[in-house]
Amino acid sequence: MKDDELRFGTSGLRGLSRLLNGRPAAAYAQAFAHVMIAQGRAERGRRFLVGRDLRTSSPGIARFCFAGLLEAGVEPVDCGELPTPALAARAMKLGVPAIMVTGSHIPADRNGLKFYRPDGEIDKHDEAAIADAERAAELLENVAPANAESDHGVAVDEYRARAIGTLAPDALKGMRIGIYQHSSVTRDLLVDVLSALGADVVPFGRSDVFVPIDTEALSATDAAICGTAVREHRLDAVVSADADGDRPMIGNETGRLLRGDVIGALTASDMGAGSVVTPVTSNTGIERSGRFARVIRTRVGSPYVIEGMDIASAGGASTVVGFEANGGVLLGSDVFLAGRRIAALPTRDAMLPILAVLNMSKRAGAKISEVEAALKFNASKSGCIKDADFHMSAAFIREMAADGLFVSDMFRDVIEVSMINTTDGLQIIGKDGCIVHFRISGNAAELRCYTEANSDDRASFLLDEGLARARKYLGMT
């Protein structure tokens, strides 16, 4: 993503907040309303919900969204600061569309918009229609921010009740759980929910300054903060979520942070999912585990996972769960956890997998590290090259995808190439089953690299070498 543009990424519209905060926010909100009306999913005069995360730019962008919705002839409703899945669940319950102002995990100088139809998150066809409608928007350049009817607290209360009702009362009694609060909009909800379920909670790390937590590429600083908290407070686990509460973070009893695909697989397994849908970046141990009757692989991004869940449901699957390597879990159907029915929620949710993994540990009388080890996943690592030029990154992937000899030559002392997968970016698969996977981030100016191998050392080596070779090609050595 270039700094001078707003565009749809893996989940919603993203870009620099200074570019979004003004007419563009109003125009995209107006365009979304026009698309919903054209599709018969909304009517003029009907309500549209708007929520936001804790970024300093989010309130202002929300007010421009109100203005755009008013221009479209619909009624904006201000739901305040709340997790994205709470807003989505409220919109589905009311049968109305919604907009979430959030940049998720990306840096504080960026922000974005996530759009929800009355039946859940929009798909890629909707994104294209919104982009087309935005280009045709006729808002005046001097459009002013507006206010909206307030509905603060209702969606959060419903989401809290949904989470607490997921497990039996006192299901987590006896567990001592740290909550890394930073600047996540879920920071107080996690305290409420885990306390209500009987856990002894220890909040820490609360910040008044925005902290960009990327659950798919957790920093050494995040890991150190969580590890220190586990040791100092003698915790059984540490949990958190990204800025808008749709992607979880879970650390075990040693403070080591679990990968998102591990979290997703454990959650889906505990729910008895017959079919799971997950991107190609998730660990290949999902298939090898034998826990799921069907595994559908997709491109990275919740719209693709949702499309896969629809395919699974259309094929007759009764229990469908989607998840991504960043840990967000999506429910494509009603599911059961600990004997309790949980309603479908086809958008990423951080709270559910946190509850599922903690519940698995408590119910089994096992440490979280032991629950994780039972999956027998290969070691996985991930990292990225920040501020990578989009066109150079695209050329790097394109050239490797077109020329297997080029790949084999570039990685000749690293991996013996068996095959190449171009489902999303370029995935190099070795004869020993190891993987080096490159893809361009849809959310920021980054070239991401994911690796998989039969040991941590081998996975780390592949990551270091993959990033080094990519940097050399990009001229960033």
Catalytic (active-site) positions = 104
CB 349 within 8 Å of CB 175: no
CB 51 within 8 Å of CB 101: yes
Q: Measured between alpha carbons, how far is 113 from 46 in angstroms, rounded to an integer?
A: 20
Picking from 470, 475, 461, 455, the residue whose alpha carbon sits closest to that of residue 415 is 461
E strand residue ranges, 31-72? 47-52
Q: Measured between alpha carbons, how far is 381 from 383 in angstroms, rounded to an integer?
A: 7
Quote the DSSP letter at residue 258: P
Picking from 422, 419, 425, the residue whose alpha carbon sits closest to that of residue 448 is 425
AA letter at 55: R
CB 385 within 8 Å of CB 474: yes
CA distances from 152 to 149, 274, 347 (A): 9, 37, 21
Q: Measured between alpha carbons, how far is 183 from 17 in angstroms, rounded to an integer?
A: 17
Please provide residue 267's backbone torsions phi and psi, each rounded to the nearest 5 degrees: -65, -50
Q: Measured between alpha carbons, how far is 89 from 104 in angstroms, rounded to an integer?
A: 18
E strand residue ranges, 207-305? 237-241, 248-251, 275-279, 294-298
AA letter at 109: D
E strand residue ranges, 53-119? 75-81, 98-101, 110-117
Kindly report the CA angle at 322 between 318 and 325, in degrees rounded to 5? 160
AA letter at 475: G
Which residue's entry shows tokens 């519940």?
A: 359
Quote the DSSP letter at residue 63: H
Q: Residue 320: CB partners within 8 Å, gap ≥ 6? A: 273, 274, 275, 276, 277, 309, 312, 313, 331, 332, 333
Please give the torsion angle defined by the CA atoms of residues 214, 124, 85 and 186, in that order, rounded to the nearest 10 degrees: 20
Is the C-alpha dihedral spanning 59, 61, 62, 63 positive or negative? positive
CA distances from 199 to 176, 233, 309 (A): 6, 14, 33
Q: Residue 228: CB partners within 8 Å, gap ≥ 6? A: 255
